[in-house]
Chains A and B, each alone.
Chain A
Amino acid sequence: MRTRREGGAPAAPVLPPSANRGQLGVRLALAAAGVAALAVGAWSAWQHLLPAWWPVLRWAAGGVLVHDLLLAPLALLLGVLVLPRVPPAWRDPLRGALLGLATAAVLLLPLLQSPARRWNATILPTPGWVSVLVAVLVPVAGALLAVALGRRRASRSR
């Protein structure tokens, strides 16, 4: 296989022309399928969602804004402020725990906010405080376990 260098970058494999052509075919097929699916979505929205276009748009944009303006900056801030101040062995478990907590927050929000349990006792049968407690304890316990396992592995390899 040929290799080439550019701007001092390490050597990287270059696909032979036939492979490039095959890949190009796959990319074009994906692009065509993507455009077709978008067209189906647009048609379906035109047929059924036109009167509700504004709330749909608001919710679609709102989710991105919550992520881009709240969750992602918060994650970056924690990464900048906290991670350099903890031992290297703690960093990955801490990242995992933060991801676990963020996931739990996303899953918990509908459970805690839904009014449905007022009229249907079979929805949301777990008390909210139990869900929150488990959602916090499991990632924290998981991180501590990962650190302990990492230390044990490190002491064995010495």
Chain B
Amino acid sequence: MSTPRVAGALPVEDAAAQPVTAREGLASRLGAWVGATFLVCFATGLVSHELQEPATWLPWGPSPAWGYRVTQGLHVASGTLAVPLLLAKLHVVFGQLFAWPPVRGLVHGLERLSIALLVASSVFMLTTGLMNAAQWYPWGFGFRAAHYAVAWVAIGSLALHVGAKLPVVRRALGTPVPPDRRGFLVGVGTVVAGAAVLTVGQTVRPLAGLAVLAPRRPGTGPQGLPVNVTAVQAGVADSAPDAAWRLTVAGPARDVVLDREDLTAMAQHTVELPIACVEGWSAQGRWSGVPVHALAALAGGGPGDDVRVVSLQRGTPYSTSVLPAEFLASDDTLLALQLGGSDLHVDHGFPARIIAPDRPGVLQTKWVSRLEVVPRADPA
């Protein structure tokens, strides 16, 4: 019997005539759940990637202070919870891998190619993401570049897959799951809930004690905060605590050199802010220090200027960062000297570090040695 088609378009044969199988019912529902986690993961990942770019199209400011904490917490949580969903989905459709003939035509061949891309990129994204959170890099490529490029492949092949399967997905989602298959879906949902309970405590403080499958716990670390890179790892274990440390503030009017006593003599500002890492953990701290705009003003900086921050740490892309003017306008954007009422621990950036609301942890530069006021180019 001929297959009904819309002229010149993708085949729509499955939409019209065939009954929904139990496999299609399960695959469609699991696929919808996987798709939802992937969309959240992709959107929040895009935010995190853009925020780490020197010039970004993304409008982003210091309010709300918890913004990045939420987006990156969602990013890692959705990626983690996609693991059981993807395993279940692949289990349900695994038999289709051996369908015969393997290719029934050009469109079918392209559809199968998109599935191969989807599976490969999905597994790549989830495994590299989990390994990055545990700081395990046994590969020979840059994590961020690879995670970004392959994310587009994953979301693109997902869109192609949904486009190809839409008729059967619509029919399947409109048909109740047979009673003997509901238990499987309940089981998958339970595993997802269990995985959430055992991991999200790395950013949801009340669940911290249960986060035995997460690589971090918010309260674990010097002064009650985790550390991403220690002073020894950064090669600043000697230079950071050195009494000879000075901060240089370079600006359009003058360069100013300050020691730590000069900084503590300036008006201090204290604020509760989260530090939220790209690896998904976050924790709240009470930070005290000097608003960066006050330091920039010493060197002739004013509203509308950016500030480039330079660390004692060398040789990594994160040894410098740029604080855009939108962040400098906030008193809460600090050159922090204390955490929780005590001088910063050297692993938290002693003698001085940046802490600003709503920023990725990798941009909260530690062991600051220099601030450079960078006037924004006049648009005229």
Q: Is A148 interfacial (CB 8 A cutoff)?
A: no
Cβ A26 vs Cβ B212 within 8 A? no
Mark out the residues of chain B between 83 and 104 whose CB falls within 8 Å of any chain A CB in the assembled complex.
Answer: 83-84, 87-88, 90-91, 94, 97
Q: Which of A14, A41, A64, A131 has the most CB atoms of chain B within a 10 A radius of its CB?
A: A41
Q: Which of B17, B135, B151, B159 contacts A30 (CB 8 A)?
A: B159
Cβ B15 vs Cβ A40 within 8 A? no
Cβ B146 vs Cβ A52 within 8 A? yes
Cβ B18 vs Cβ A6 within 8 A? yes
Q: Which residue of B lies closest to A66 (CB)?
A: B123
Q: Which of B120, B160, B212 has the most CB atoms of chain A within a 10 A radius of its CB?
A: B212
Cβ B188 vs Cβ A99 within 8 A? yes
Q: How many residues of A contact B (CB 8 A)?
A: 86
**Residues of A contacting B258 in the complex (Cβ-Cβ under 8 angstroms):** none
Give the distance to chain B from A20, nearest Cβ to Cβ, in Å: 6
Mark out the residues of chain B between 139 and 165 whose CB falls within 8 Å of any chain A CB in the assembled complex.
Answer: 139-142, 145-146, 148-153, 155-164
With A125-B220, A139-B191 as contacts: A27 and B166 at CB distance below 8 Å: yes
Q: Which of A12, A125, A138 contacts B171 (CB 8 A)?
A: A12
Q: Is B253 interfacial (CB 8 A cutoff)?
A: no
**Residues of A contacting B194 in the complex (Cβ-Cβ under 8 angstroms):** 100, 138-139, 142
Question: Roughly how many angstroms separate A7 CA and B18 CA in the complex, as a whole number?
Answer: 9
**Residues of A contacting B173 in the complex (Cβ-Cβ under 8 angstroms):** none
Q: Which residue of B lies closest to A53 (CB)?
A: B141
Question: Roughly how many angstroms separate A61 CA and B226 CA in the complex, as a whole number?
Answer: 34
Give the distance to chain B from A55, nearest Cβ to Cβ, in Å: 4
**Residues of B contacting A106 in the complex (Cβ-Cβ under 8 angstroms):** 83, 87, 126-127, 130
A21-34 CB contact bits vs B (8 Å, 1 = yes)?
10110111111011
Question: Roughly how many angstroms separate A107 CA and B82 CA in the complex, as a whole number?
Answer: 11
Question: Roughly how many angstroms separate A27 CA and B6 CA in the complex, as a whole number?
Answer: 12
Q: How many residues of B contact A (CB 8 A)?
A: 90
Give the distance to chain A from B185, nearest Cβ to Cβ, in Å: 9
Cβ A4 vs Cβ B156 within 8 A? no
Mark out the residues of chain B between 162 and 181 whose CB falls within 8 Å of any chain A CB in the assembled complex.
Answer: 162-164, 166-167, 170-171
Cβ B10 vs Cβ A24 within 8 A? yes
Q: Which of B83, B120, B213, B233 contacts A131 (CB 8 A)?
A: B213
**Residues of A contacting B119 in the complex (Cβ-Cβ under 8 angstroms):** 64, 67
Cβ A100 vs Cβ B146 within 8 A? no
Q: Is B58 interfacial (CB 8 A cutoff)?
A: no
A-B contact count (CB 8 A): 265
Question: Roughly how many angstroms separate A10 CA and B18 CA in the complex, as a whole number?
Answer: 8
Question: Roughly how many angstroms separate A93 CA and B184 CA in the complex, as a whole number?
Answer: 8
Q: Which residue of A lies closest to B13 (CB)?
A: A6
**Residues of B contacting A26 in the complex (Cβ-Cβ under 8 angstroms):** 163, 166
Question: Roughly how many angstroms separate A72 CA and B145 CA in the complex, as a whole number?
Answer: 30
With A99-B191, A130-B212 as contacts: A23 and B84 at CB distance below 8 Å: no
Q: Is B187 interfacial (CB 8 A cutoff)?
A: yes
Question: Roughly how many angstroms separate A65 CA and B139 CA in the complex, as a whole number?
Answer: 17
Cβ A107 vs Cβ B213 within 8 A? yes
Cβ B140 vs Cβ A99 within 8 A? no
B327-359 CB contact bits vs A (8 Å, 1 = yes)?
000000000000000000000000000000000
Cβ B186 vs Cβ A92 within 8 A? yes
Q: Is A82 interfacial (CB 8 A cutoff)?
A: no
Cβ B135 vs Cβ A134 within 8 A? no
Cβ A23 vs Cβ B167 within 8 A? yes
- Measured CB to CB, the residues of A under 8 A from B are 4-7, 9-10, 12-15, 20-21, 23-24, 26-31, 33-42, 44-45, 48-49, 52, 54-56, 59-61, 63-64, 66-68, 71-72, 75-76, 91-93, 95-96, 99-100, 102-104, 106-111, 113-116, 119-126, 130-131, 134-135, 138-139, 142, 146
- Measured CB to CB, the residues of B under 8 A from A are 1, 6, 9-10, 12, 15-20, 80, 83-84, 87-88, 90-91, 94, 97, 114, 116-117, 119-121, 123-124, 126-128, 130-131, 133-136, 139-142, 145-146, 148-153, 155-164, 166-167, 170-171, 183-184, 186-188, 190-191, 194-195, 198-199, 211-213, 215-217, 220-222, 226-230, 232-233
**Given A21-B6, A76-B94, 16 other A-B contacts at CB below 8 A?**
A12-B20, A14-B15, A26-B166, A27-B9, A31-B10, A39-B156, A42-B149, A54-B140, A59-B124, A59-B128, A60-B120, A72-B90, A93-B187, A103-B191, A114-B134, A122-B216
Q: List 14 A-B contacts (CB under 8 A).
A: A5-B17, A55-B139, A100-B194, A103-B84, A103-B191, A106-B83, A106-B126, A106-B127, A106-B130, A110-B131, A116-B135, A122-B216, A126-B212, A134-B198
